[in-house]
Amino acid sequence: MTPTASKRPLQLNDQGQLRHFLSIDGLPRELLTEILDTADSFLEVGARAVKKVPLLRGKTVCNVFFENSTRTRTTFELAAQRLSADVITLNVSTSSASKGESLLDTLRNLEAMAADMFVVRHGDSGAAHFIAEHVCPDVAIINGGDGRHAHPTQGMLDMLTIRRHKGDFSQLSVAIVGDILHSRVARSNMLALKALGCPDIRVIAPKTLLPVCVEQYGVRVFTDLAEGLRDVDVVIMLRLQKERMAGGLLPSEGEFYRLYGLTQQRLLLAKPDAIVMHPGPINRGVEIESAVADGVQSVILNQVTYGIAIRMAVMSMAMSGQNTQRQLNLEAGEQN
């Protein structure tokens, strides 16, 4: 888990507009801020009686999930539908890939369906980049999570959550706690926080769950939870990824909770108005106490709502290559 070379030429068109959304790595702060601003406008769409805008009318979005993820898949489906796109969802993990078909073979078959966008989730790091490098020029690729590498829309929905609850990133202390080693969410969050100007990014984990050279992301490393939580504004808990765990990296889940689980008592170490986040699904009693997950400082359900708006923003920006904020304002004016 080391920083990769910038993927900017692949992700952006000649005008610097979003073409694919594969990773936060290499994207400028201005573009990330545009995504957040556009998502803010789409939150208003979610509050309407008719939750649709015509930005992607006549377009087809194909969700291609080589890995199961009900939450991510559902929010991408809702986002595409609210943009008025036609949506196809394929669970490839139970079809062609399991029969020995290569990733490139699968891609060519999907292209034959004449979809305009693929949302790809894959267990191998770099899969979304590989597809973007080989896809037809007029098809956009959105990374819905690839191996341990990146989960950029989750990273951006987390940034939207922080911005809406805490405002300016330049004054914040943010702690990311748990299975840093296996977490594509952690990597995307570290990159996004740094790009958006957060001055104090902390990662807290046992040594066995810390990547080599994680300091290269501009973070401070803590192996003691109490020390790392002190006076932070935001606590991002990570799911303990048991399906990716191998080699006895932890003695037990109970031991992990005893040392790194977020309880009400430990949350008192953070600032009184600190918010608690989690990408889900939550392992209650492993990463977090139920009283904290369901408590007044938790914004976990808000993250799900913001996730739809972020995915609408990314999909519309990648598909249109235009100023979607202006389009959205024009469309809203037509309705008023």
Q: Per the annotation, where are the binding residues for L-aspartate?
A: 99, 184, 239
Residue in 257, 245, 315 with CA at minimum distance from that of residue 18: 315
Q: How far is CA 159 from CA 132, 156, 194, 222, in A?
A: 25, 5, 11, 22
| Rounded Cα distance, 244 and 221, in Å | 22
Nearest-5° Cα angle at 205, 122 to 247: 60
Q: What is the torsion angle, in degrees rounded to the nearest 10, for the CA atoms of residue 17, residue 22, residue 25 and residue 31? A: 30
| Rounded Cα distance, 162 and 172, in Å | 10
| Rounded Cα distance, 281 and 223, in Å | 24
Q: Which residues are annotated as a binding site?
A: 71-72, 99, 121, 151, 154, 184, 239, 280-281
Which structure tokens are listed for 234? 């935001």
User: What's the sign of the alpha-carbon dihedral 104, 78, 150, 37?
Assistant: positive
Write down the residue that tokens 């509050």 correspond to: 47
Question: Are 166 and 275 within 8 A, CB to CB?
Answer: yes
Which structure tokens are listed for 317? 């920006």
| Rounded Cα distance, 165 and 159, in Å | 10
Which structure tokens are listed for 329? 């304002």
Q: Which residues are annotated as a binding site for carbamoyl phosphate?
A: 71-72, 121, 151, 154, 280-281
